[in-house]
Amino acid sequence: MRFFHLADLHIGKQLHQYSMKKEQEDILNKIVRKAQEEKPDAIVIAGDIYDKSVPSAEAVHLFDKFLTDITELTPEIAVLLISGNHDSPERLNYASEILSKHQVYISGMPPQTEEEHLKKIVLKDEYGAVNFYLMPFIKPFYVRNLWQDDGGVTYEEAMRRILEREEIDEKERNVLVAHQFFVASGEKPETSESEMAVVGGIDEVDIRVLLPFTYAALGHIHRPQKIGKPYYRYSGTPLKYSISEEKHYKSITCVELKEAGSEPVITEIPLEPLRDVRVLRGSLEEVLAQATTENKDDFLSITITDEMEPYQFNERLKEVYSHILEIRVDNTRTRTILTEAEEDFKVKTPLEICMQFFVEMQGREMTEEEEAIVKEVLNEGGLES
């Protein structure tokens, strides 16, 4: 059994002010061509199909074309996909019954009642059955109706309970498709700026819940990587969606399952973007000299380091490079300004901050009586004035 593992397509996404429609259309077409060449038995997409819960008609059309192109390939390829935290489960579930007749299996909603279970898709090869369990993105309150003591259930506990209900036979070959933030004994995956972070780590799920599975096809983290075990993997995004991903290697994760008890064979099929995301740094002339026919249309973050800021450097850069995300200046003057700002911020006491805010709002200084009231409030709140 061979299948492609993809995730986090984020169709409809913009990179700063630029639409990525052309880039996404290009990369989806390349995935279709790779499927035509490699002939996998299935394509698994682990959530965040769209970038917004209410995708544009343009984004829906783009994904519809991708699914249509895949289903027209021969031999037939099954497509299994789940909703991520960016998707609307209800919208993604639309027409799922009809699509399943064309081997497109969608799970947008986790189980809602005691009678419901995870969608389980069974595909077969020469070694027998491979059980794919589709676990859409969940928050504990999504599945609170499955048990009585819903108060204080964590993300990890919710997922563990859902999986225990499935009574998974660990002697068989089982694949979980999930979109969550997994950790390995506290070790977190490497993240990037384009992901949605949850303060305090309350969404973390330990990989111990994945023990019944031969392979875990994970989505949510945009950098391709394993988490804990080689066969618990984030495939990453097919495109770079932030400047912090400049050095990321984007690919299709290809997984081959052999007989039960053997570890999956995992390979990466490179994906080349229509435009790369790059960081340029140097003097204006050095940055301009790096432009070539092949790279001048890339998405660029540019830092100019000239001590004397060149005349109209923004305009000169935009004449050469077509997709500039940001232009920064890093020299003695800008570093001094930043240092002074940091020092000003560090020395301000809670009282000083309140007094500054008062001046900005009222246009005058506090009276002695007003200052005394603020000091009293700060002291009662445990803050030194």
CA 45: distance to chain centroid?
13
> Residue 91: CB partners within 8 Å, gap ≥ 6?
53, 54, 55, 108
373: tokens are 């009231």
Q: Label residue 352 by pLDDT band (50, 70, 90).
A: confident
Q: 294-320, pLDDT tens digit by residue?
A: 999 999 999 999 999 899 999 999 999
Phi/psi for 44 (5° steps) reads -110, 130
Mean pLDDT of 230-239: 98
Q: Label residue 357 by pLDDT band (50, 70, 90).
A: confident
What's the confidence (pLDDT) of residue 256? 98
Q: 70-87, pLDDT tens digit by residue?
A: 999 999 999 999 999 999
The pTM of this model reads 0.86
Mean pLDDT of 330-357: 78
- Are 44 and 10 a contacting pair, CB within 8 Å? no
3-state DSSP assignment of residue 159: helix
**Strand-strand pairing, 181-183 and 204-206:** parallel
> Residue 330: CB partners within 8 Å, gap ≥ 6?
281, 303, 304, 305
What's the confidence (pLDDT) of residue 43? 98
Q: 10-41, pLDDT tens digit by residue?
A: 999 999 999 999 999 999 999 999 999 999 99
Q: What percent of the chain is modeled with pLDDT above 90?
A: 76
Q: Label residue 120 by pLDDT band (50, 70, 90).
A: very high
> Is the per-residue pLDDT at 340 higher than 90?
no
| Half-sphere exposure for 304 (CA within 13 Å, toward CB) | 20
Which of 273 and 351 is assigned the larger pLDDT?
A: 273
In 79-203, alpha helices (H): 89-93, 96-100, 155-165
- Are 343 and 295 a contacting pair, CB within 8 Å? no
> Is the per-residue pLDDT at 239 higher than 70?
yes
Q: Label residue 385 by pLDDT band (50, 70, 90).
A: low
What's the confidence (pLDDT) of residue 337? 82
Mean pLDDT of 140-166: 86
What's the confidence (pLDDT) of residue 358? 84
What's the confidence (pLDDT) of residue 350? 84
Burial class of residue 157 (count of CB atoms within 10 Å of its CB; 0-12, 13-18, 19+): middle
Mean pLDDT of 322-350: 81
> Residue 317: CB partners within 8 Å, gap ≥ 6?
284, 287, 288, 302, 324, 327
List, in sequence order, every beta strand (DSSP E) within the chain.
2-6, 14-15, 18-19, 42-46, 78-82, 104-107, 119-125, 128-135, 173-179, 181-183, 204-206, 215-219, 225-227, 229-234, 251-256, 265-270, 277-282, 299-304, 323-329
Residue 236 CA to residue 223 CA, distance in Å, equals: 5
Domains in the chain: ranges and CATH = 2-270 (3.60.21.10), 277-333 (no CATH)
